[in-house]
Amino acid sequence: MPVITYREALGQALREEMQRDDRVFLMGEEVGVYQGAYKVSKGLLQEFGEMRVVDTPITELGFAGVGVGAAMVGLRPVIEFMTWNFAVLALDQILNAASKMLYMSGGQFPMPMVFRGPNGAALQLSAQHSQSFESWLAHMPGVKVVTPGTPYDAKGLLKAAIRDDNPVLFLEGEMLYNTKGEVPDGEYVIPIGKADLKREGDHCSIVTSGKMALVAVQVADQLAKEDIRVDVVDLRTVRPMDVEAIKTSVRKTNRAVVLEEGWELAGIGAQVVDYIQRDCFDDLDAPVIRVHQADVPMPYAKNLEKLAKPDVAKTIAAVKQVMYRD
């Protein structure tokens, strides 16, 4: 099976869906001539032309609104934000137009569109460019929120997102574009809302998504050397969430650690814990522990940034704590 990068997987998904359906087009800052801030759209302008690969001004609210209008008349826009930090400027179109249009129109106007771009912290991008938006966006009814952590998942889920008749918010890990993984040559689509078991064990469940799935896999591999076997449940989609996958794992291991990139208060992890306590309370042998970013704006200094981020060491400590081995 070919091994390609996360960015190449996303590019393949875009190209294949644009070839498959001429209603699909890409729009955003520097997606055409510059080929995308992270080179995801490499070669698409040359292949599909400027009517389907549209460079925009630095106007997130404006081109998000154009995308909403295009979806209302039957096109399937893919709106790229240079980063989800900048998408805050377009939140009115996402929250008050895209997410509500099908409901407010009594079913007359589906919203077959994708908003996509890098999410979460990179390296020393500081407070304003290092935020993780899963919980902010998943709070809205009427949207789907997808957080792929591997090239395989990125391609299969982006194809599913483009084909979906609902607005899909597609959050790509900012540190993932150069990561590599196996991606098959043939056609495949991953259903939105279906988790994936990245590692299998019976001592503890780690429930996670996005970039943190790679951290969780490293945790599992390190703990295996100490004969501690963990399930790694990669949600892949946080709205809708695969609650059955969470419950199945926790009922097997009787312990859970929830790992997320964002802040603690009202985070995705809080919702996961709620599902666990609601349906698996009697199965638990220890309280659920959450691992997350420190409750501060992301520092710029390297040493402070490292302290603020969730990582392998913090997650290992949490697993050992729920197993009473700390």
**Is 260 within 8 Å of 271 (Cβ atoms)?**
no
DSSP secondary-structure letter at 185?
S
pLDDT in tens, 284-320: 999 999 999 999 999 999 999 999 999 999 999 999 9
Q: How far apart are CA 253 and CA 59, in angstroms?
A: 48
Q: What is the set of active-site residues?
A: 60, 129
pTM over 0.75: yes
Was domain 3-182 assigned CATH 3.40.50.970? yes
Detail the DSSP E strand segments found in 83-156: 114-119, 144-146
183 pLDDT more than 80 = yes
Q: 281: which residues sit within 8 A by CB, 6+ positions away?
A: none
Which secondary structure element, helix H or strand E, spans residue 172, and what is its range? strand 168-173
Q: CA of 54: how far to CAs of 14, 145, 232, 299, in Å?
A: 14, 24, 39, 35
Alpha helices in the chain (DSSP H): 6-20, 44-48, 60-72, 84-87, 91-92, 101-104, 134-138, 151-163, 212-224, 243-253, 268-280, 302-308, 312-322
CA nearest neighbour of 7 among 154, 163, 147 = 154
Q: How confident is the model at residue 326 (pLDDT cuts 50, 70, 90)?
A: confident
pLDDT in tens, 35-73: 999 999 999 999 999 999 999 999 999 999 999 999 999
Asked if the domains at 3-182 and 196-322 fall in one CATH topology, the answer is: yes
Q: What mean pLDDT comes out for the span 97-123?
A: 96
pLDDT in tens, 229-283: 999 999 999 999 999 999 999 999 999 999 999 999 999 999 999 999 999 999 9
pLDDT of amino acid 304: 96
pLDDT of amino acid 136: 96
Task: Name the residue ranges covered by the structural domains of the chain.
Answer: 3-182, 196-322
Burial (CB count within 10 angstroms: exposed 0-12, middle 13-18, buried 19+), residue 94: buried
**Is 63 within 8 Å of 56 (Cβ atoms)?**
yes
Burial (CB count within 10 angstroms: exposed 0-12, middle 13-18, buried 19+), residue 315: buried
Q: Which amino acid is at 198?
A: K
pLDDT of amino acid 186: 87
Which secondary structure element, helix H or strand E, spans residue 168, and what is its range? strand 168-173
196-322 has which CATH code? Answer: 3.40.50.920
Kindly report the average pLDDT of the chain as a whole number.
Answer: 97
Q: What mean pLDDT comes out for the span 157-181?
A: 97
Q: What is residue 247's three-state secondary structure?
A: helix
